[in-house]
Amino acid sequence: MPDGCESAVGLFQLRTLEPGAFATAELGFAMGPAFWGTGLFQEAAAQVIDFAFDVVGVRRLEARAASPNGRGNSALRKLGAVEEGVLRRSFLKDGQFMDQILWAILDVEWRRAHEYAASSLH
């Protein structure tokens, strides 16, 4: 929680997509609008992704965002997720079916990017 906050400002969900294994998982997220654009999402998401890869043993992490959700899609891109496709009419919102963008982050790509970032700090 951010300093001074007494309640949650968002949530992350990590769930398996394979019965009996956690090699492929889905990342879900939501954050209160008051905290959009503060960098809090990127910081928290990186911690959840580190946990998924380093502790849980996930190899592939998927996320989905409704195609009109520019902020959510941009946040996933900034994390290093790769857009893999469009899930057509796969999400019902306000009585309308919407397309979703399927994103993925692979453990090897995440580690490579973060090892490079850590080594450039020294």
What's the CATH number where 15 sits? Answer: 3.40.630.30
Model pLDDT, residue 35: 78
> Exposure pattern of 16-28 as b/e (b: 16+ CB <10 Å)?
eeeeeeeeebbbe
Model pLDDT, residue 33: 80
Residue 79 lies in a domain: yes
Residue 22 lies in a domain: yes
Residue 45 lies in a domain: yes
Which own/partner contact pairs does 112-118 have at CB distance under 8 Å and 24+ positions apart?
A: 113/80
Reading the block at residue 53, the tokens are: 């890869």
Residue 78 lies in a domain: yes
Helix or strand holding residue 5 (H, E) = none
Judged on CB neighbours under 10 Å (0-12, 13-18, 19+), 96 is exposed
Q: Higher-confidence residue: 74 or 32?
A: 74
Q: List pLDDT tens digits, range 62-112.
A: 999 999 999 999 999 999 999 999 999 999 999 999 999 999 999 999 999
Entry pTM: 0.84
Structural domains in the chain (count)? 1
Model pLDDT, residue 18: 85
Give the range of the structural domain holding residue 46, as residue numbers without chain letter.
10-120
Contacts of 49 (CB under 8 A, 6+ apart): 27, 61, 79, 105, 110
